[in-house]
Structure 1
Amino acid sequence: MIDPVLASRLQFALTTIVHIIFPVMSMGLAPFIVYFTYKDIRTGRPRYEQLRRFWTKIFAVSFVVGTVTGLVLEFEFGTNFAAFATMAGELFGGPLATEGMMAFMLEATFLGVFLFGRERVGDAVYFLSSVAVALGTWLSAVWILIANSWMQTPRGFEVVVEDGRRVVHLTDPLAAYFTPRFTYMFVHMQNAAVLSVALFMAGVAAYYVFKHHVRGRDINSIGFWEATLKIALVVIIVTAPLQVLHGDAYARHVYETQPQKFAAMEAIWHTEAYVPEYIVAFPTSIDAVFEPGPKELVGIAIPGMASWLASGGDAGAVIQGLESFPVENPPVAVVFWAFRVMVALGMWFILLGFWGGFRWRRGELFEDDLLHKALIGSSLLGFVAVEVGWIVTEVGRQPWVIQGVLKTSDGVSASLTGMEALFTLLGFAGGYALLLALYVYVVRRIIRQGPPTGDDLRNATTETEVTGGE
């Protein structure tokens, strides 16, 4: 019989891993949609109308599927984690309810205007609809991350006993809803979403540019893909370094507020100073995969760098080891390797951006087939980075569901059996796999159809290239 705690954790992890793809796509596309709409209205150039209409289709599909999968996650708090919902409902329920009433309703209301109102409303109202849709998308992240950041660094509450049960009472809403962790999580998540979408756009565009310029195939909409590639590349050049720089500050905050998680991220078992930072790490044996540590790894390590990063400049700083904490450790191997993957991808994105920028400056952006292949291969890696980043965040917090307040094992529904949890786990796995496959099919079909051209465009058929300057 499977443990209901394990099955519930696996179910929530599975549904979250699938769900996060869709909000990342919609949140990342939001600023692009606003920009394309503004330029379409401001300049009247068909190229911007193409960009707006094409990427709006993918945005709309992502919004719909994200809504369906996101609602299920909220129900899981009641079905699988009723003890957690009962204890933290007063504080945790507020942000989730506000997200639905404020952010979702704002986005859903104006999305209809944005999708179907271009010929029915004026330019100002239409542009306002694009801003409202983007704002609603980002406000959803605000309230979800407020709830999650409180679980990571809880404050502004007290635990009291009511009817024999421990429950959380909100005492300071500002302290509870705007913890220091929230700013780090919001900036890191939103920048990651924009970067992920820029990589996706660049990869898709590079595919068509490669077929046209390198393979010599005739692509009718090649100007559209060239413009997409350049716009995406500019965003990558800006957001990739920001993600790494902010990630450094974020990790230091984790060290200060969740030292056990930080120790798991670096696989520091014993309290010590001058802790090295493994930029690239490989296990020396099978056992080292599951129990990584300095003696079990080989790679590129910078002596004292982990101590320097954690302390903000002291390579000799002492870092508390995993063996010194009074509660059980998180799955160290999962956290350690997920963190390594995230960091490696962050560095690759910087290299990729500056590689593309260098080729662009030399006038070789459309002829570098190796760059095109690298962009194509990296088109989904931004989403991978987001996934492993959330694995570090959530798995690294274990054994706590509310840090230092409630353990995950104590937050699972008391009446839930292992068979019930296994049944819903398998059902959700099948349902979410089907939804993901359907989403991939629809997005792939949109991409294969390409941008609207000719009579499909509202503007004149004479096109002015975005890439040629203004």
Structure 2
Amino acid sequence: MIDPVIASRLQFAVTTIVHIIFPVMSMGLAPFLIYFTWKEIRTNEQIYEQLRSFWTKIFAISFVVGTVTGIVLEFEFGTNFAAFSKTAGELFGGPLAIEGMMAFMLEATFLGIFIFGRERVSDRLYMLSSVLVGLGTWLSAVWILIANSWMQTPRGFDIAMESGQPIVLLVDPIAAYANPRFPWMYVHMQNAAVLSVALFMAGVAAYFVWQNRDTEFWRKTMKIAIAVLLVSAPFQAIHGDAYGRHVAETQPQKFAAMEAQYETDSSVGLKLLAFPTSVESLTDPRAENLFVVELPFLASILASGGDPGATITGLNDVPTEDPPVAIVFWAFRAMVGLGMWFILLAFWGGFRWYQGTLFEDDLLAKALVGSSVLGILTVELGWIVTEVGRQPWVIQDVLKTHAGVSPGLTGAEALVTLAGFVGVYAALLGLYTYVIARIIRNEAPTKPPTPERERDAPDSVGVIPSDD
């Protein structure tokens, strides 16, 4: 029978991997919707009304499914990781509760106005609703990432023992919630969400351009998405480089796993690719390799911020068990490789735009279509590096994962719930994909927009016109 620890970890991994798709879509769409609303109100051009209306549908579906799948994650802390909840509940529960009371309620309240209130409230209130929906979406990430980042770099707590189990006592909320990892994780995650949505928008628009079914709606979408990619893709790489140095300082075992560095050494090269000579080396990058593509000194440069002779701590010198090196090693390389591809796509699109041939380059259109969901895949890879690289700890240097699993949970029980959640989440993901595809096929405008539109709307904030 399967180990309940393994089954519980697999279940949490499956539910998280599926769930994260939806907040990425909603967080990434939020600034676009604010921009579309602002331009619609300011210019009175129908194209921005069409953009706002169409992408709001995608946002709403993502919000609803994200809410359903996210609730399950919080229940899993009790059903599968009760020991972790007992240990860290005093600190971990606060951010999750605040996220629900503050951010989620703010988003849910004003989303109704944003979806249904365009013809019923003033421009000022409608603009405010778009901003507050976006703010609620991004505030949700603040509290969720505060909780997760504390697990990576825990601060502001003491430990008390209760029946042989460590209990975290919150002694300094500021130090705990403003822990060293939080700002790095938050900026990287939010920019990744915007980048992922920009890729999705560009890919969908490029498909219609490639199929000669493009309208001004899709051309405008493609231009806006390319403009955002030109900023977000390079920024993600620059920020990721600095983020990596922070990881090397605060979690040396994770950085060593990312580089498959087992021995502490200086002037370490960055392993780009390895061709194995044995079955073992397929899963263990330290095994002998027939051929290694390595950039000399680069791992030391990245870890130190510029010193080619910097020393990198190897896994053999870290006083803990090794994390699953192969998963972290290859997920990190796939993530970085895709990030470089996104930069190339952004500048390719920007160059064609500058030339005036953005909509004539079929190869670019095909590349954008093929990359439309790769941003979300890259986010998944980043979270794999983040979470698997911390193992065997669920709270770094405080509580190991096996000690956080619910006592008394059997392998059979964990396996049944794992199978059930795989089926349910697969169905939800399939339904979400079907609905999004249907919206894209049937809801996009097919007629050219009029330069201006007239709308009967009240001038005062919050007034709903009567039927008299």
Q: Per the shorter chain, which TM-score range? A: over 0.9
Distance 2:357 2:373 in 1: 24
Distance 1:84 1:423 in 2: 21
Distance 2:309 2:434 in 1: 53
| 8 Å Cα contact 1:23-1:62 kept in structure 2 | yes
Distance 1:104 1:130 in 2: 14
State whether structure 2 residue 48 is matched by structure 1 residue 48: yes
Q: Give the drift of 1:390.
A: 0.2
- The residue that corresponds to 1:467 in the other structure is none
| 8 Å Cα contact 2:46-2:449 kept in structure 1 | no
| 8 Å Cα contact 2:280-2:287 kept in structure 1 | no
Distance 1:405 1:283 in 2: 36
1:154-233 paired onto structure 2 within 5 Å: 154-162=154-162, 164-212=164-212, 219=213, 222-233=215-226
| 8 Å Cα contact 1:206-1:376 kept in structure 2 | yes
* TM-score (structure 1 length as normaliser): 0.94
Distance 2:189 2:176 in 1: 20
3-state DSSP of counterpart to 2:266: coil
Aligned AA for 1:242?
F
Aligned AA for 2:193?
A
Aligned AA for 2:43?
T
Q: Give the drift of 1:196.
A: 0.2
Q: Give the drift of 1:164.
A: 4.9
Identity level (%): 69
**More moved, 232-241 vs 309-318:** 309-318
| 8 Å Cα contact 1:53-1:452 kept in structure 2 | no
Q: Give the drift of 1:459.
A: 6.3
Question: How has the CA–CA distance of structure 1 residues 141 and 334 changed in structure 2, closer, same or farther, with 3 Å as cutoff?
Answer: same
State whether structure 2 residue 249 is matched by structure 1 residue 256: yes
Aligned AA for 1:53?
S
Distance 1:294 1:457 in 2: 64
Per-residue deviation, residues 425-453 of structure 1 (Å, max 9, x unmatched): 00000000000000000000000014246
| 8 Å Cα contact 1:49-1:457 kept in structure 2 | no
Q: Give the drift of 1:316.
A: 1.0
Per-residue deviation, residues 375-398 of structure 1 (Å, max 9, x unmatched): 000001000100000000000000
Aligned AA for 1:363?
G
- The residue that corresponds to 1:95 in the other structure is 95
Distance 2:26 2:117 in 1: 20
- The residue that corresponds to 1:275 in the other structure is 268
Q: Give the drift of 1:299.
A: 5.0
Aligned AA for 2:129?
S
> Number of paired residues?
454
- The residue that corresponds to 2:435 in the other structure is 442
- The residue that corresponds to 2:459 in the other structure is none
Distance 1:280 1:361 in 2: 35
Structure 1 residue runs of 5 or longer lacking an equivalent are: 213-218, 462-470
| 8 Å Cα contact 1:12-1:76 kept in structure 2 | yes
| 8 Å Cα contact 1:279-1:344 kept in structure 2 | no
Q: Give the drift of 1:324.
A: 1.7
Aligned AA for 2:84?
F
- The residue that corresponds to 2:396 in the other structure is 403
Per-residue deviation, residues 309-348 of structure 1 (Å, max 9, x unmatched): 1011111111111112222111000000000000000100
Match of 1:302 among 288, 295, 305: 295
RMSD: 1.7
Question: How has the CA–CA distance of structure 1 residues 192 and 361 changed in structure 2, closer, same or farther, with 3 Å as cutoff?
Answer: same
Question: How has the CA–CA distance of structure 1 residues 277 and 165 changed in structure 2, closer, same or farther, with 3 Å as cutoff?
Answer: closer
State whether structure 2 residue 78 is matched by structure 1 residue 78: yes
Distance 2:324 2:164 in 1: 32
3-state DSSP of counterpart to 2:240: helix
| 8 Å Cα contact 1:53-1:451 kept in structure 2 | no
| 8 Å Cα contact 2:268-2:299 kept in structure 1 | yes
Per-residue deviation, residues 247-272 of structure 1 (Å, max 9, x unmatched): 00001000000000000000001111
Question: How has the CA–CA distance of structure 1 residues 238 and 399 changed in structure 2, closer, same or farther, with 3 Å as cutoff?
Answer: same
- The residue that corresponds to 1:216 in the other structure is none
- The residue that corresponds to 2:236 in the other structure is 243
Question: How has the CA–CA distance of structure 1 residues 454 and 225 changed in structure 2, closer, same or farther, with 3 Å as cutoff?
Answer: closer
1:60-75 paired onto structure 2 within 5 Å: 60-75=60-75
State whether structure 2 residue 111 is matched by structure 1 residue 118: no
* TM-score (structure 2 length as normaliser): 0.94
Question: How has the CA–CA distance of structure 1 residues 457 and 101 changed in structure 2, closer, same or farther, with 3 Å as cutoff?
Answer: farther
- The residue that corresponds to 2:143 in the other structure is 143
3-state DSSP of counterpart to 2:181: helix
3-state DSSP of counterpart to 1:121: coil
1:236-385 paired onto structure 2 within 5 Å: 236-293=229-286, 295-296=288-289, 298-385=291-378
- The residue that corresponds to 1:14 in the other structure is 14
Distance 2:294 2:353 in 1: 33
| 8 Å Cα contact 1:118-1:126 kept in structure 2 | yes
Question: How has the CA–CA distance of structure 1 residues 458 and 442 changed in structure 2, closer, same or farther, with 3 Å as cutoff?
Answer: farther
Per-residue deviation, residues 267-326 of structure 1 (Å, max 9, x unmatched): 001111111113455445432220103852745421011011101111111111111222
| 8 Å Cα contact 1:288-1:297 kept in structure 2 | no
3-state DSSP of counterpart to 1:180: coil
State whether structure 2 residue 385 is matched by structure 1 residue 392: yes
3-state DSSP of counterpart to 1:159: strand
Structure 2 residue runs of 5 or longer lacking an equivalent are: 455-468
State whether structure 2 residue 123 is matched by structure 1 residue 130: no
Distance 1:311 1:100 in 2: 39
3-state DSSP of counterpart to 2:321: coil
Per-residue deviation, residues 205-227 of structure 1 (Å, max 9, x unmatched): 00000111xxxxxx3x6111011
Q: Give the drift of 1:363.
A: 1.1
Question: How has the CA–CA distance of structure 1 residues 339 and 164 changed in structure 2, closer, same or farther, with 3 Å as cutoff?
Answer: closer
Q: Give the drift of 1:163.
A: 5.2
